[in-house]
């Protein structure tokens, strides 16, 4: 049973396209994180959300707590955005994060 589901699993886009990655979760949460992992690289936290919307450069993250759903948008995508994007949730109770399996994004020049 996966507490966190991401879609799509893989995504290929042309440079400049608008990209959306979706995350659905099944537990009550205190926070949701979007993480970025480059090939062979470490994991970087992009956003932490508990409500509403956050924007950082070309990245926008939204969350709907009632629907248990979050989206990560990338505007004007660029090849350097190619990475795996991981959704993670912090449940209201307990110490453990739950992680999605990631969305592998490839942006072609």
Partner 1 sequence: NAGVTQTPKFQVLKTGQSMTLQCAQDMNHNSMYWYRQDPGMGLRLIYYSASEGTTDKGEVPNGYNVSRLNKREFSLRLESAAPSQTSVYFCASRYLLAEYFGPGTRLTVT
Applying CB under 8 A, which residues contact partner 1?
2, 4, 30-31, 33, 35, 41-45, 48, 50, 86, 88, 90, 95-102
Residues for the chain: how many in total? 109
Nearest distance, CB of residue 34 and partner 1, angstroms: 12
Nearest to partner 1 of 17, 98 (CB atom)? 98
Q: How many CA atoms lie within 13 A of 86 on its CB side?
A: 16
Which residue, 17 or 104, has its beta carbon nearer to partner 1? 104
Least distance (Å) between residue 43 CB and partner 1: 4
**Shortest distance, position 104 Cβ to partner 1, whole Å:** 11
Q: In 1-109, at which residue ranges do the beta strands (DSSP E only) sit?
A: 4-7, 10-14, 19-25, 29-37, 43-49, 52-56, 59-64, 69-74, 83-91, 98-99, 103-108
């Amino acid at each position: 049973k996966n507490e966190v589901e991401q879609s799509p699993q893989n995504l290929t886009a042309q440079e400049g396209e608008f990209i959306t990655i979706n995350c659905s979760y099944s537990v009550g949460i205190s926070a949701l994180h979007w993480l970025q992992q480059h090939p062979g690289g470490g994991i970087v936290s992009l956003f932490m959300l508990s409500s509403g919307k956050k924007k950082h450069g070309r990245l926008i993250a939204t969350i709907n707590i009632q629907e248990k759903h979050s989206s990560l948008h990338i505007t004007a995508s660029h090849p350097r955005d190619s990475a795996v994007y991981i959704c993670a949730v912090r449940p209201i109770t307990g110490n453990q994060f739950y992680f999605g399996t990631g969305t592998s994004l490839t942006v072609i020049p």
